Structures are given as C-alpha cells and as structure tokens.
Amino acid sequence: MRFVMSGPRKYRWRRLLAALALPIASGGLVPVFAQAAPAGGFEELLVPSSMGPIKVQVQWAKHGGGAALYLLDGMAARDDKNAWTFETNALQQFAEDDVTLVMPVGGLSSWYQDWISPSNTNGQKLTYKWETFLSRELPDFLAGYGVSKTNNAVAGLSMSGSAALQLAAYHRDQFKYAASYSGALNISAPGMREAIRVAVLRWGAYNIDAMAPPWSPQWLRMDPFVFAPQLKGLPMYISAGSALPGEFNRPSNVSQVFDTGVGMGIEAVTLMNTRAFEYRLNQLKIPATYSFPPAGTHTWKYWELELSKSRPGILAALGA
C-alpha cells in the first residue's frame, strides 16, 4: 500500500524530504527517500546543491510518466519564480501532456555555467555551478520522484538559449532534444564578449571574467558555434525573431516605446548569432528545425509562441 497525501500537507512533506537530503554530498546527489512519480499538479521543491538549496518549480507529468522538459530562465532571472511560470502560458501548454516541466529558480546573469570564481564586482559569496546543478545534482534529486535521468529535453531563451544547447551537447545521455529561442549562439564573434560583459554588469553587476577568462578553453566550451559538431544527431529547434515589432508589441507610453527599441536591438544581435549558427550547422550537415518569423522582438510572448511551435518535437523526442 502506498501512502498518498494531497494538498498543503503533501507539499510540506516533500519539502521536509528535500531538507533531509541537504546534508548529502553535492557530488552526485541522491534523495533520501524515493517515491513513485506524482501525477499532475504544480509544486515547488528545495533542491540541495553545491551553491546551497535551490528552489525548483515543477509541473508534474499528467499521468506520472518519467519524461521531463527543463525550461531555463533569462538574464534577469528572479530568485522567487522562474519567468516561464508567469510570463508565458507554458504550464497550460503542457498541462495535459505526460511530461514534467522542470523550472529552476535563480541564476541571474549566470549563463547557467560553472564559473571559475565568485564575481568580485558585486560581493558574490558563492561560485556559480549551474551546469553541475542541472546535469548532476538536480536530475539525481528528481530521480527520487520518478523523473527519468535520461529522457529529458531542455529549452532556453536569450541567455539560456546557448546553455540549453550546451547542456544537450555535453550531456547527451541526459537530453534527447534542445531548443534555443533568441539565443546568443556565436559568442566568440567580434564584440560578443564585451556585449555580454555589459549585459551581466547591467543585470546584477557581475564580472564576466569570473565566469571564464577571455578565449580560454572554458569560454570556447560555452560557444555553440565551437561545440556544434557535438550536436550531430540531436533533434533541435532554433529560432530568432526579425527584430521588427509585431503582434505582441503595442507600446502605449514613452517607457514602453523605449523597451520596444531595446528589445529590437537585442533581437537583432541574437538573430545575427542564430543565422551564423544555422550556417555552421549547414556546413557540418547537421539538421535542425528553424523558425525565423517576419516579426518579433526580444520579449516573452514571442518565446511563448516559439515554445508552442517546438512542443510537438519535444513530445516526439521524449515519446510522451
């Protein structure tokens, strides 16, 4: 007989289990208690990591299946919610599917990388270790809830578009599908490192040199243009907007006009990056599904639409 709880008591119990798991060594976390996969519903988990406890929001697979889609946040990632949960209808899109949505919270300006040191420009106390968390600590923890460690997809936008491809490239045993929406996919191109330097200073006052030294092996390891050969055989969805305002741009005041202009500029950069990456994959004869709509700026509603367009491929790759 299986003891099943529902409502707030169930969530408190799972948070207790997560707390009990905290003392486990971070190099290969295994939850203290394993249980059958939950069926449906939304929950917030506290997951132990080398960075300390990390909140992860999950929408459990409708029928308790093991497949999972990791949805990574953008540059301005908050420490209370993953933006996919409130900026888009991602939860509704997959509500009837047998796929668990895994949405890590936090990682402001992290690029979801393992940094070499704490940032020395903002008083950061810890060293970001996001690749370790997403590829080892989090899947080990979720395995205790019945989530597969080998049947996953990963999708990211803007900052996390390149991270999604990187995770899939270097952890092919974990990820069967990757999607990048408006990602920076050619970060070693002229001017890109300094553009990223400005961006991480803008969002959190981080120092890019604490992430990876310029043109170092670690930096090149982050660049989709460089690691593209490792994506051979992986189903991918790659998109970027035209940088022209479209159906989701309706500025009604000066501030919104300014934001639209900023979104146009950033999207123009990611479009150039994405087109360069498309050329690179074509050179390598690596197929992917591309989407270059005639309108679209660097804003969430366009990424919501691209997620819906990539959803059939995600479900097919995961057999869900």
Q: What is the sign, positive or negative, of the torsion defined by CA atoms of 184, 187, 190, 196?
A: positive
Q: What is the pLDDT of residue 267?
A: 95
Q: What is the pLDDT of residue 5?
A: 36
| Tokens coding 74 | 């953008």
Amino acid at position 156, single letter: G
Cα(77)–Cα(43) distance, integer angstroms = 19
Q: Topology of domain 7-318, per CATH?
A: Rossmann fold (3.40.50)
Cα(185)–Cα(180) distance, integer angstroms = 9
| Tokens coding 156 | 């990211």
Residue reference for tokens 């707030």: 8
Q: What is the pLDDT of residue 166?
A: 98
Q: Which of 44, 131, 137, 267 is catalytic?
A: 267
Q: Which of 109, 110, 158, 162 is catalytic?
A: 158
Q: Which of 298, 304, 306, 310 is catalytic?
A: 298
Amino acid at position 190, single letter: P
Residues of the chain under the 50 pLDDT cut: 1-32
Q: What is the pLDDT of residue 35?
A: 59
252-288 pLDDT, tens per residue?
Answer: 888 888 888 988 999 999 999 999 999 999 999 999 9
| Tokens coding 306 | 């691209």
Amino acid at position 60, single letter: W
Strand segments, DSSP code E, in the chain are: 42-47, 54-59, 68-71, 100-104, 152-157, 175-181, 236-239, 289-291
Would you kindly state where each structural domain of the chain is located, as residue ranges? 7-318
Q: Tell me the CA distances in angstroms from 136 to 19, 48, 72, 86, 311, one per residue in order.
A: 18, 11, 16, 27, 25
The β-bridge partners of 68 are 100, 152
298-313 pLDDT, tens per residue?
Answer: 999 999 999 999 999 9
Residue 213's CB is within 10 A of a number of other CB atoms, namely: 12
Chain centroid offset of residue 117 CA: 22
Q: What is the pLDDT of residue 36?
A: 62
| Residue 158 among the catalytic residues | yes
| Tokens coding 277 | 């990456």
